[in-house]
């Protein structure tokens, strides 16, 4: 390999074209690979005179070594050595009358070719132009990558918030800084999918746009819909005065601002637009590349998606707040009604007891039967009022648990004894299984009685005549060493379908067969029961088969050493 420096060196045959070295070429290095020594010397001398540093090579191995030394800007190579691999621009010397050499120029990596022997002026021009072209493309790629990174950060900021105003502010500020714009303006139209919002960004020293800038929304909406349907942007570069028809496509309020260069891009979803973004340079031209327009449209799409999502979330939050207000109003109403009903009902029940127990003036058997019906319905009304009281307390001021040692077997006997008259009227049998030991738990006896009263009374209501209710309890130890008392209430009633089981603990929910059979109830019993059980640290489970029956299981934690023999 022969190296020629700028201080001197041998010049090959012929007189080379000499061009004064410039700043643009002074630091460039050319590798010249040609087996023809005379031609190689001429090319080296020509490029050297033009300000290049030159490395010469007469074969493929020497050319590869020269490239491996690094720092080369261009490879000028004869077609016979065009197989040499290089990651720099390649200019091939080719005999245009030789089809094989012409075909060699089609190999990957070859950027340009020049007829041999080359003229000195053309050689320098083509070599320099090739380097500049590749450099410009590399700069463009780097600029595009930087642009993508800047707009990626904008999209990430948009995805990181659910606040619609923040989304709009991120977009206009991101576009303004990325494109060195003078103004960026974003607006949405009157649309159910997004909130009505406007945002703007401006270069320092400019006055803000007026709040009511968009005075012709119908025209703007038509423009946005047209651009959205055609997947286009409306651009002006300021290089040539756009014709009146093209300028008139801008909404009138934007036309009056007389921007020199601008981009108008729609935001949309589905078949229609929902807003516009306008990026403007007020006093200087600017061309908009396809890559830039594609990225602008991409970010506009992310902004539209973010605004739609934020609007949905805001709407859901508003609905939740409204439901919370309604729930509080309902709870307040139930508490008031409960108070107003309990007072007269207490008097009614007291007087009924007095009439039934009177021995001085006993009533006839027919009247006694009617009084029994009144008493049963009064008791049912009392239980409904108790349920409403529990609902009114839930989620607000929960009634405290008055914990005392409670004998579970005794509690079940009390509940069964109180409900047997009602079961008898329904021709339903209640059987409480005897247990060897009566587990004692720490609990609120009144509320636990309410739990099992709700379960057994439910079983009575949903069990047809001739049916049976089985109440049992067992004590066991879990794998983790904790001890539990488990009570089961099983009936032979109408059952619950599998798809409705998941809803049985929902307030006011009633199974479809209960509604169809006009079985009385409010749908509160199981919800209240679950709440009381949870507050005792227990668990409740419902298993049912439609048309066969239902089993409700309640497990409550046992106090250490709390088992006592009957």
Reading the block at residue 18, the tokens are 């000499």
What local confidence, expressed as pLDDT, does residue 84 receive? 84
Distance, CA of 519 to CA of 513 (rounded, Å): 9
What local confidence, expressed as pLDDT, does residue 245 receive? 54
Distance, CA of 294 to CA of 313 (rounded, Å): 29
| Residue in this structure with the two tokens 């007829």, named with its chain if needed | 115
Q: Are strands 53-57 and 3-4 parallel, antiparallel or unpaired?
A: antiparallel
What local confidence, expressed as pLDDT, does residue 414 receive? 86
What local confidence, expressed as pLDDT, does residue 198 receive? 92
CA distances to 320, 533, 565 from 508, rounded to whole Å, are 19, 18, 40
Query: 164-178 and 120-159 are packed helices; what angle lies between their axes, rounded to 10 degrees?
Result: 170
What local confidence, expressed as pLDDT, does residue 183 receive? 94
With 0-12 / 13-18 / 19 or more C-beta atoms within 10 angstroms meaning exposed / middle / buried, residue 112 is middle
Distance, CA of 506 to CA of 504 (rounded, Å): 6
Q: Which of 543, 505, 556 is nearest to 526 (CA)?
A: 505
CATH architecture of 404-565: 2-Layer Sandwich (3.30)
Q: How many CB atoms lie within 10 A of CB 44?
A: 26
3-state helix vs strand vs coil in the chain, percent to 5: 45, 20, 35
What local confidence, expressed as pLDDT, does residue 365 receive? 78
Distance, CA of 551 to CA of 566 (rounded, Å): 26
pLDDT digits over 157-193, tens only?
Answer: 888 888 889 999 999 999 998 889 999 999 999 888 8
Q: Which of 263, 250, 255, 266 is nearest to 194 (CA)?
A: 266
Would the pTM count as exceeding 0.85? no
Residue 402 backbone dihedrals phi, psi, to 5 degrees: -95, 90
Q: Which of 7, 44, 47 is nearest to 28 (CA)?
A: 47
Q: Which of 396, 389, 393, 432 is nearest to 411 (CA)?
A: 432
Report, as ranges of residue numbers, the positions in the chain whose pLDDT lies below 70: 1-27, 108-109, 239-248, 335, 338-339, 342-343, 359-360, 380, 383-384, 386-399, 507-523, 559-566
Q: Which fold has domain 3-138?
A: Rossmann fold (3.40.50)
Could you tell me where the DSSP H helices lie in 209-289? 217-230, 244-247, 252-255
Residue 36 backbone dihedrals phi, psi, to 5 degrees: -85, 105
Distance, CA of 283 to CA of 261 (rounded, Å): 8
Q: Provide the residue ranges of all domains of the chain, joining segments of one domain with +.
A: 3-138, 155-310, 317-393, 404-565
Contact 200, 184 (CB under 8 A): yes
Distance, CA of 170 to CA of 197 (rounded, Å): 13
What local confidence, expressed as pLDDT, does residue 470 receive? 92
Strand partners, 233: none
Distance, CA of 307 to CA of 193 (rounded, Å): 8
Is the Cα torsion angle 443, 445, 447, 452 positive or negative in sign? positive
CA distances to 149, 157, 173, 288, 289 from 143, rounded to whole Å, are 10, 21, 19, 13, 11
Q: Can you tell me whether residue 34 is helix, strand or coil?
A: coil
Question: Could you tell me the CATH superfamily of domain 155-310?
Answer: GAF domain (3.30.450.40)
pLDDT digits over 433-485, tens only?
Answer: 887 777 788 888 888 888 898 899 888 888 888 999 999 888 888 888 888 99
What local confidence, expressed as pLDDT, does residue 395 receive? 47
What local confidence, expressed as pLDDT, does residue 523 receive? 62
Contact 488, 471 (CB under 8 A): yes
Which are the contacts of 530, defined by CB distance < 8 A and separation ≥ 6? 505, 540
Reading the block at residue 153, the tokens are 């950060």
With 0-12 / 13-18 / 19 or more C-beta atoms within 10 angstroms meaning exposed / middle / buried, residue 404 is exposed
| Residue in this structure with the two tokens 């439910």, named with its chain if needed | 458
- Are the folds of 3-138 and 317-393 the same? no
Which are the contacts of 242, defined by CB distance < 8 A and separation ≥ 6? 236
Contact 66, 110 (CB under 8 A): no
Strand partners, 32: 56, 76
Contact 542, 504 (CB under 8 A): yes
Give the right CATH number for 317-393 from 3.90.180.10, 3.30.465.10, 1.10.287.130, 3.40.190.10.
1.10.287.130
Torsion of CA 356, 360, 365, 368, to 10 degrees: -20
Torsion of CA 189, 195, 198, 201, to 10 degrees: -120
Which are the contacts of 19, defined by CB distance < 8 A and separation ≥ 6? 49, 50, 51, 121, 124
Q: List the end-to-end C-alpha distance of the chain, in Å, as a whole number.
A: 110
């Amino acid at each position: 390999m022969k190296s020629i420096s700028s201080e001197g060196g041998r010049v090959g045959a012929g007189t080379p074209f000499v061009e004064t070295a410039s700043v643009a070429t002074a630091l460039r290095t050319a590798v010249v690979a040609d087996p023809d020594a005379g031609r190689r010397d001429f090319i080296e001398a020509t490029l050297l005179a033009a300000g290049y540093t030159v490395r010469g090579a007469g074969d493929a191995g020497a050319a590869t070594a020269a490239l491996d030394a690094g720092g080369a800007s261009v490879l000028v190579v004869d077609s016979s050595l065009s197989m040499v691999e290089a990651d720099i621009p390649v200019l091939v010397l080719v005999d245009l009358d030789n089809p094989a050499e012409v075909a060699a120029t089609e190999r990957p990596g070859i950027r340009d070719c020049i007829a041999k022997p080359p003229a000195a002026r053309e050689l320098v021009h083509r070599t320099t132009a090739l380097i500049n072209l590749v450099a410009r493309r590399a700069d463009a790629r780097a600029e595009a990558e930087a642009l993508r990174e800047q707009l990626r950060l904008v999209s990430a900021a948009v995805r990181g918030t659910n606040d619609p105003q923040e989304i709009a502010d991120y977009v206009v500020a991101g576009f303004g800084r990325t494109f060195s714009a003078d103004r960026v303006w974003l607006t949405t139209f009157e649309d159910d999918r997004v909130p009505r919002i406007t945002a703007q960004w401006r270069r320092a020293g400019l006055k803000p746009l007026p709040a009511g800038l968009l005075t012709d929304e119908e025209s703007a909406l038509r423009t946005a819909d047209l651009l959205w349907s055609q997947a286009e942007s409306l651009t002006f570069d300021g290089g040539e005065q756009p014709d009146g028809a093209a300028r008139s496509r801008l909404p009138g309020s934007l036309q009056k601002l007389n921007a020199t260069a601008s981009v108008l891009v729609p935001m949309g979803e589905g078949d229609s637009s929902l807003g516009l973004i306008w990026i403007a340079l007020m006093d200087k031209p600017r061309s908009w590349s396809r890559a830039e327009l594609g990225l602008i449209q991409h970010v506009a799409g992310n902004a539209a998606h973010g605004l739609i999502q934020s609007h949905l979330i805001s709407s859901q939050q508003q609905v939740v707040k409204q439901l919370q207000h309604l729930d509080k109003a309902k709870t307040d109403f139930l508490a008031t009604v409960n108070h107003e009903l309990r007072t007269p009902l207490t008097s009614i029940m007291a007087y009924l007891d007095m009439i039934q127990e009177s021995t001085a003036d006993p009533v006839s058997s027919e009247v006694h039967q009617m009084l029994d019906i009144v008493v049963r319905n009064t008791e049912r009304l009392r239980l409904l009022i108790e349920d409403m009281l529990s609902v009114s307390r839930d989620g607000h001021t929960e009634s405290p648990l008055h914990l005392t040692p409670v004998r579970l077997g005794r509690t079940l006997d009390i509940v069964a004894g109180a409900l047997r008259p009602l079961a008898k009227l329904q021709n339903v049998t209640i059987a409480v299984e005897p247990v060897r030991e009566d587990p004692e738990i720490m609990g609120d006896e009144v509320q636990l009685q309410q739990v099992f009263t709700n379960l057994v009374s439910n079983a009575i209501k949903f069990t047809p005549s001739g049916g049976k209710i089985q109440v049992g309890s067992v004590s066991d130890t879990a794998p983790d060493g904790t001890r539990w008392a488990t009570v089961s209430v099983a009936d032979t009633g109408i059952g619950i379908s599998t798809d409705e089981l998941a809803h049985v603990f929902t307030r006011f929910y009633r199974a479809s067969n209960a509604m169809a059979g006009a079985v009385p109830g409010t749908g509160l019993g199981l919800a209240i029961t679950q709440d009381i059980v949870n507050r005792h640290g227990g668990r409740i489970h419902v298993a049912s088969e439609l048309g066969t029956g239902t089993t409700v299981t309640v497990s409550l934690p046992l106090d250490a050493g709390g088992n006592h023999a009957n």
